[in-house]
Structure 1
Amino acid sequence: MAMAVLLDNGSLAVEISTQGAELTSVKNKESGYEYLWEGDPTIWGRHAPNLFPIVGRLKGDRYKYRDKTYFMTQHGFARDNAFELVEHTETTARLRLVDSPETRSIYPFRFQFDVVYRLTDQDTLGIAYAVTNTDTHDIYFSVGGHPAFKVPLAEFNEYYINVDPQRIYPTAQLVGPYLDNNIEDSYDAREPLQLDRNDYRDDAKILRTDGNPTTLVLSKKTASHGVTMHVQNAKYVGIWTPYAKGAPFICMEPWWGIADTVDADSNIEHKYAINRLAPAQTFTGSYSISFF
């Protein structure tokens, strides 16, 4: 049974579920304001799932490794598995998922996947992913975050996202659920990205950040609340809301990996933007969210 893990620094009250190590609530203690989407299952039943060992969709929900075919659904299995709480203080929580016979039936690698939450100062929550290869050969994986932030439905088009550095970013283009690298496009971050539901008709807007530090600020001119996301070393940042649902939230998603390309050969060793990790090595990806 899932357990709620609580963090509190006197300014923010944070709740994390051991199911998927998912962040489920961030509240300002003084005002009681909730920053995260509540997870209404009729619209989108999640809050901030952690994506591992893939990000996005595999072609036909399958891949090959050493001539054997494995099946895995979108964004991988970590978000639907119980994590163990291995460290907990008032302001820190480390949750861990390790391989099992069940995971190895769909992902034939031994691993340790830690998700670490840390309230670092009055208004900031740090999130870190640590993937350790506990196998005897290289493992292949992607990892990412998917936090959904409340945006009142009646005010959706009044909100904007500022991206820094303010430059022109190449974008990754999806055709259906798959990446098409033959389509070249860009986003000019020298102007704010005004939220418009029609921009998500074909799924997420995806910035190619290429591992460079990037900051996104979600707010509106007259808002007293907003969030600032600092992404340290992700390859991509996705921005998404479910177009058809009229959802009162927007996701800002740091990704260390992406969906299969339209011409993928399904061999996980060849997968575009996959991370390869040698035995006994640890990969770390991190980002932080400041709430105001």
Structure 2
Amino acid sequence: MKHRINSSELSIEINQTGMELSSIKSLHTNTEYLWQGDPAFWSGQAPVLFPIIGALKDGFMVYKNQKYAIPKHGILRNSPKPVLKESTENSLLFSLVWDEESLKQYPFKFELEIQFTVLGSKIEVVHRILNQGEETMWYSLGGHPAFNCPLNEGEEYEDYFLQFAYPETDSTWNVESSGLIGTDTKPVLENSSALPLHKHLFDDDALIFKNLKSREITLMNKNIGGLLSLKFDDFDYLGIWAKPGASFVCIEPWLGIADSVDSNQKFEEKEGILKLEAHQSDVKTYSITILK
């Protein structure tokens, strides 16, 4: 089931399955900014990554000497279990709560709430993670929104670039065929705030940045300027990805990362993993602003 909310500028839709953003449309121009999930390339649109990001080494993690198999990107993606808790004209609040089935994959008693609010040209995505158990809980969290690129007929992918808030010098970490993070890096940004998009940029999978200063990134058209920006102050890592040949680009704020090839598979020692003490909660937010 999909739910729609509007502001004066935008209409957005959320798929209750997976609590996934499924449309961002301008009310003035009828432009659709979000990738519509063509299965010939990639059927996703903006999956929520929880409680892991990417792949686990050998497909499982270890916690208290028990193995837990968690699928790539976690247990929320495509889940039919989220419920709508609250709705207003411009806000929707969804929730996913642990159950006996989830404990077989992820051994923590959690609630994950996601609130989508649209105000003017801005969409705020607020995640509240609650540990309902009696022990420390470990988790990762990430966004995976895919934006149409190019947006308009007659444009080319190469007409677009990503603009970082600050000049950056950073490398991407190589992704192995297994989906694990390799030990090698490749320079991508050298004192530059612009990352040109081109059809071979993602031939070797996602670009994965661990050391950015910027916490805002803008999708730019070199002829008409900025189209949308994503602000991710609460997130430490950034992934950028597209299926080669597809007309989209994903801008992915992450708290955590896929396992490395040399991971010891202990969940509490996983790179980027976060923890919550018993009955504590945390809030992580990113926002999308439509500029044109």
TM-score range, shorter chain: over 0.9
RMSD value, Cα: 1.8
Q: How does 1:256-275 map to 2 (within 5 A)?
A: 256-275=255-274
Deviates more, 1:185-194 or 1:10-19: 185-194
**1-side partners of 2:266 and 2:159: how far apart?**
44
- TM normalised by structure 2 equals 0.92
Q: How does 1:163-202 map to 2 (within 5 A)?
A: 163-176=164-177, 177-181=179-183, 183=185, 185=187, 187-188=189-190, 190-202=192-204
Q: How does 1:215-254 map to 2 (within 5 A)?
A: 215-223=216-224, 226-243=227-244, 246-254=245-253
Q: Deviations over 1:191-250 (max 9, x none)?
A: 41110222211111112247x66111102122477211111121111100012xx10000
- TM normalised by structure 1 equals 0.92
Q: How does 1:1-292 map to 2 (within 5 A)?
A: 3-81=1-79, 82-120=81-119, 122-152=120-150, 155-176=156-177, 177-181=179-183, 183=185, 185=187, 187-188=189-190, 190-209=192-211, 214-223=215-224, 226-243=227-244, 246-291=245-290, 292=292
State the 1:128 CA deviation. 1.5
**1-side partners of 2:226 and 2:23: how far apart?**
15
Structure 2: tracts of 5 or more residues without a match:
none
Q: Which amino acid aligns with 1:102?
A: E
Deviates more, 1:20-29 or 1:219-228: 219-228
State the 1:116 CA deviation. 1.3
State the 1:185 CA deviation. 4.3
Deviates more, 1:161-170 or 1:254-263: 161-170
- Checking the alignment, whether the CA contact within 8 Å between 2:110 and 2:129 is kept in structure 1 is yes
- Checking the alignment, whether the CA contact within 8 Å between 1:173 and 1:185 is kept in structure 2 is no
**2-side partners of 1:17 and 1:42: how far apart?**
20
How many residues align structurally? Answer: 286
- Checking the alignment, whether the CA contact within 8 Å between 2:218 and 2:226 is kept in structure 1 is no
- Checking the alignment, whether the CA contact within 8 Å between 1:162 and 1:189 is kept in structure 2 is no
Structure 1: tracts of 5 or more residues without a match:
none
State the 1:156 CA deviation. 0.6
- Percent of residue pairs bearing the same amino acid type: 31
State the 1:283 CA deviation. 2.0
- Checking the alignment, whether the CA contact within 8 Å between 2:220 and 2:227 is kept in structure 1 is yes
* SS of structure 1 residue aligned to 2:170: strand
